[in-house]
Structure formats: C-alpha cells, structure tokens
Structure 1
Amino acid sequence: MEERMNSKASVEPLRKPRQCPECGRPSSRDTYPFCSARCRELDLSRWLTGSYAIPVAEDESKAGGDEGDNG
C-alpha cells in the first residue's frame, strides 16, 4: 500500500482544456472556461451592462404563440 502512496499517480482532468471565449488562450482550472480572472470579469461586465442580449420578437404574435387565436 505504501508503494501506491509514494508513486506519482496521473490524474486526468474532468474537463478538457478549452479556448478562452474572450482571448482564445487555453482555459484555466480556477477560472474555467476563461483563462484568467480578467477575462472572466470582462465577460461579466458585458452581461451586466447589457452588451449581451437575447433577441426578442417585437410583435408577440410573430413569436409563434397561440394565445391570440381563440377559434
């Protein structure tokens, strides 16, 4: 049993490294999926200021809803 504890075990990461969505460098385990705290905070800032937005239909009837059809 001591042999197992003294030998260096190879531990595979749970996730494969990905490119940082901000700068393209390899991601870091501590700040996944970003490479650094700076890139993580830049992304958060964009969300908080409304730079990222989910598009919505101007007219709800064009969004595919059946709420207006009663017949």
Structure 2
Amino acid sequence: MSCPICGDATSPTVRPFCSRRCADVDLARWLGGTYRVAGRDGEAEGVVEDADAPPRTH
C-alpha cells in the first residue's frame, strides 16, 4: 500500500500515510474544504425538517 498523499510506502504508526506530515496534509485538506462528502441536492447540514411545518420557499 502506498501513501495517498505522496505515494511512498506507508508506516504502521500513521497508516495509511507514510509520515505524520502526510497525515497532517490530509487533515488540512478535510478541514479546508478541499475534500467533501457529497449530499443530496438542497440538503443543509444539521437541519432537521419538521414534518408538520409548511414547505420552505427560497
């Protein structure tokens, strides 16, 4: 297996990365919004729709 950031061999202590640096680069990409998990269109994070409420209009 190779490191997803730089392609070097992985290290058991920071797997699946080769070093703490590459692990930190990956974390920074998640925190910075470079990586995203796709949701359904129009889905807002952390918003729960009330079934009895009238539909929202934008």
Q: TM-score, normalised by structure 1?
A: 0.54
Tell me which residue corresponds to 2:8.
25
If asked which structure has higher relative contact order (CA below 8 Å, sep 6+), I would say 2
Stretches of structure 1 lacking an aligned partner (at least 5 in a row): 1-17, 61-71
CA RMSD of aligned residues (A): 1.7
Which protein has the larger Cα radius of gyration, Structure 1 or Structure 2? 1
Q: TM-score, normalised by structure 2?
A: 0.65
More helix by share: 1
Alpha-carbon distance between aligned partners in 2 of 1:56 and 1:29, rounded to the nearest angstrom: 32
Give identity over the alignment, percent: 44
